């Protein structure tokens, strides 16, 4: 169920409210930028647009800079104010989510860097096809994770956690396909490995999207559900009656 | 230069001192356990000890449990007390370091899982040799990173950051070697890829060791040096006169 963030976050003061709204806004801005980089990196990879790839590769510093800025804001807030309960969990969730978003940016940069150096004369459609599906799925997951973070939507967060398991399976299937390509034509091993690294980077972006959703659950129900099964997450959500 | 943690961490109260000492102790305990898992996973991989590999694979939950426990301790401390300056940075550094240590545990578990399923009848000495060197280097790096964390030793932290660049090069060289093995004998592609995943996991453990050292630098000099060059880290340390 989606809840109004303003209803859930009970602030000790209007100053708290303002800070939390601002810092969550900055985290979402960072998320939007990271998402945009992932989208462009996938597009560059699939279309062989090496100019776009180089542009994305050079732009990763912007995501990093936002992480540093948000971390500073959170540290300053923790030092000057004294948030408790949901307010404190919000700050901790923001710090943790930005760590994941920074790594999402890193993975987008990795895809862009690989794309910029890929020999597109040798790339075949079947190579790209194996990655296309994972790319589309992971991008949708990341979008949902940011939505779940923005709206503190635990249902959406749970959905993303389930999808992460699907993406892991899609990655395994993609990898098996690529091993077949390599065995069929050993001259393409290096090339196919580079395509495989792109698929791996996408799979990791899915992991980070799932992590962000775990931070959302922590923020809303106050429980650390990082190392438990999906079934247990469902039980905890039911118990919390959210 | 190594500094006495007790001199650097200036506490607002003896209760703070006790908490910070305890939680840093727990983080180091978690670090010791993660290090032990990495060491055993490397040993299992190199010696083909699949029984040991399964044991390590099953033990990862212990590292995860410590992360959850330490995070809870930190949240509770932030909620009940009001740490500022170095005290606050210590808590933030502990939260961030445990995230990295949890992932170190994950990578050790991955190596153990790969080892448990590896076809050692087909593994050749040259496959293992390519990983052995990285393994030894990364294990030393992780040990140094935990030392730097325990003693708040910025010199040692800087050393680890430099070594991370070396490990990245060693990994690239190892990967080139493995591509050669695959091209020479395409029947071994699947096997060699699994060896390559082990090398990749080790390289990522090196990244996490470097991250831990960045958290040490943040804690001691109060600056976020995650996205800057080694030269700039050196200048910042000189400026801070530590």
Which value, in Å, is the radius of gyration of the alpha carbons in chain B? Answer: 19
Closest-CA residue of A relative to B89 is A75
- Give chain B positions within 8 Å (CB) of A187: 183
Domain at B118, CATH number: 1.20.58.220
- Give chain A positions within 8 Å (CB) of B78: 78, 83, 88, 92
> What's the burial of A125, exposed, middle or buried (CB within 10 Å: 0-12/13-18/19+)?
exposed
Please name the member of A85, A96, A189 whose beta carbon is closest to the beta carbon of B179: A189
pLDDT at residue A130, rounded to an integer: 81
Count of CB atoms within 10 A of residue A180's CB?
15
How many Å apart are CA A181 and CA A200, to the nearest integer?
17
Q: How many CA atoms lie within 13 A of B6 on its CB side?
A: 3
Q: Are A175 and A130 in contact (CB under 8 A)?
A: no
Q: B89 and A75 in contact by Cβ < 8 A?
A: yes
Please name the member of A64, A193, A224 whose beta carbon is closest to the beta carbon of B179: A193
- Give chain B positions within 8 Å (CB) of A226: 64, 67-68
Q: B227 to chain A nearest CA, in Å? A: 7
Note whether residue A242 is domain-resident: no
Whether the CB of A72 is below 8 Å from some CB of chain B: the reply is yes
Note whether residue B60 is domain-resident: yes
Note whether residue B48 is domain-resident: yes
Note whether residue B124 is domain-resident: yes
Q: B65 and A186 in contact by Cβ < 8 A?
A: no
Chain B, 132-191: which have a CB under 8 Å from a chain A CB? 179, 182-183, 186-187, 189-190
Q: B64 and A226 in contact by Cβ < 8 A?
A: yes
- Give chain B positions within 8 Å (CB) of A189: 179, 182-183, 186, 189
* Degrees to nearest 5, angle at CA A157 with A156 and A159: 60
CA A32 from chain center: how many Å?
A: 10
pLDDT by 10-residue block (mean), chain A, 242 residues:
56 81 96 98 98 97 96 93 90 96 98 97 93 96 98 97 97 95 95 96 98 96 92 93 68
How many Å apart are CA A232 and CA A122, to the nearest integer?
47
Number of independent structural domains in chain A: 1
pLDDT at residue B8, rounded to an integer: 53
- Give chain B positions within 8 Å (CB) of A183: 186-187, 189
Torsion-angle region of residue B48: left (phi > 0), alpha (psi -120 to 50) or beta? left
Note whether residue B70 is domain-resident: yes
Chain A, 45-64: which have a CB under 8 Å from a chain B CB? 61, 64
Q: Are B197 and B106 in contact (CB under 8 A)?
A: no
CA-nearest of A143, A146, A133, A141 to A160 is A141
pLDDT at residue A167, rounded to an integer: 97
* DSSP labels, B194-223: HHHHHHHHHHHHHHHHHHHHHHHHHHHH--
Q: Which residue has the tokens 């100019």?
A: A51
CA-nearest of A41, A9, A37, A42 to A25 is A9
Note whether residue B85 is domain-resident: yes
Q: B186 and A186 in contact by Cβ < 8 A?
A: yes
Percent share of chain B, pLDDT over 70: 95
- Give chain A positions within 8 Å (CB) of B85: 79
Query: DSSP assignment, residue B119?
Result: -
Which residues in chain B land under pLDDT 50? none
Q: Which residue has the tokens 């020479």?
A: B184
Phi, psi of B123 (to 5 degrees): -70, 135
Q: B186 and A183 in contact by Cβ < 8 A?
A: yes
Note whether residue B1 is domain-resident: no
Those residues with Cβ within 8 angstroms of residue B116's Cβ, 6 or more apart along the chain or in another chain:
B50, B53, B54, B57
Q: B182 and A179 in contact by Cβ < 8 A?
A: no
Taking one residue from A and the other from B, the number of pairs with CB-CB distance under 8 angstroms is 73
pLDDT at residue B15, rounded to an integer: 82
pLDDT at residue A82, rounded to an integer: 85
Q: A160 to chain B nearest CA, in Å? A: 20
Torsion-angle region of residue A2: left (phi > 0), alpha (psi -120 to 50) or beta? beta
Q: B179 to chain A nearest CA, in Å? A: 7
pLDDT at residue B242, rounded to an integer: 61
CA-nearest of B99, B105, B130, B102 to B193 is B130
Which residues form the domain of B106?
A: 9-240
ipTM associated with this complex: 0.88
Please name the member of B71, B78, B189 whose beta carbon is closest to the beta carbon of A88: B78
* Degrees to nearest 5, angle at CA A146 with A145 and A149: 90
Chain A, 189-208: which have a CB under 8 Å from a chain B CB? 189-190, 193
Note whether residue A167 is domain-resident: yes
Q: A187 and B183 in contact by Cβ < 8 A?
A: yes
């Amino acid at each position: 169920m989606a809840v109004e963030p303003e209803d859930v976050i009970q602030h000790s003061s209007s100053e708290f409210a303002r800070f939390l709204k601002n810092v969550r806004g900055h985290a979402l801005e960072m998320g939007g930028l990271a998402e945009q980089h992932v989208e462009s990196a996938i597009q560059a990879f699939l279309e062989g647009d090496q100019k776009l790839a180089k542009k994305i590769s050079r732009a990763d510093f912007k995501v990093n800079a936002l992480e540093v800025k948000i971390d500073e804001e959170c540290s300053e807030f923790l030092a000057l104010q004294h948030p408790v309960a949901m307010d404190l969990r919000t700050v901790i969730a923001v710090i943790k989510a930005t760590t994941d978003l920074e790594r999402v940016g890193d993975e987008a940069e990795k895809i862009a860097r690989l794309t910029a150096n890929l020999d597109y004369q040798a790339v075949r459609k079947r190579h790209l096809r194996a990655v296309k599906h994972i790319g589309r799925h992971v991008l949708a997951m990341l979008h949902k994770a940011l939505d779940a973070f923005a709206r503190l939507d635990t249902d959406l967060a749970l959905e993303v956690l389930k999808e992460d398991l699907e993406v892991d399976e899609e990655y395994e299937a993609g990898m098996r396909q690529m091993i077949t390509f390599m065995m069929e034509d050993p001259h393409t091993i290096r090339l196919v490995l580079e395509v495989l690294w792109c698929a791996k980077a996408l799979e990791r972006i899915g992991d980070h999207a799932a992590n962000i959703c775990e931070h959302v659950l922590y923020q809303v129900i106050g429980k650390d559900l990082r190392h438990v099964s999906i079934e247990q997450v469902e039980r905890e959500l039911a118990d919390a009656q959210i």
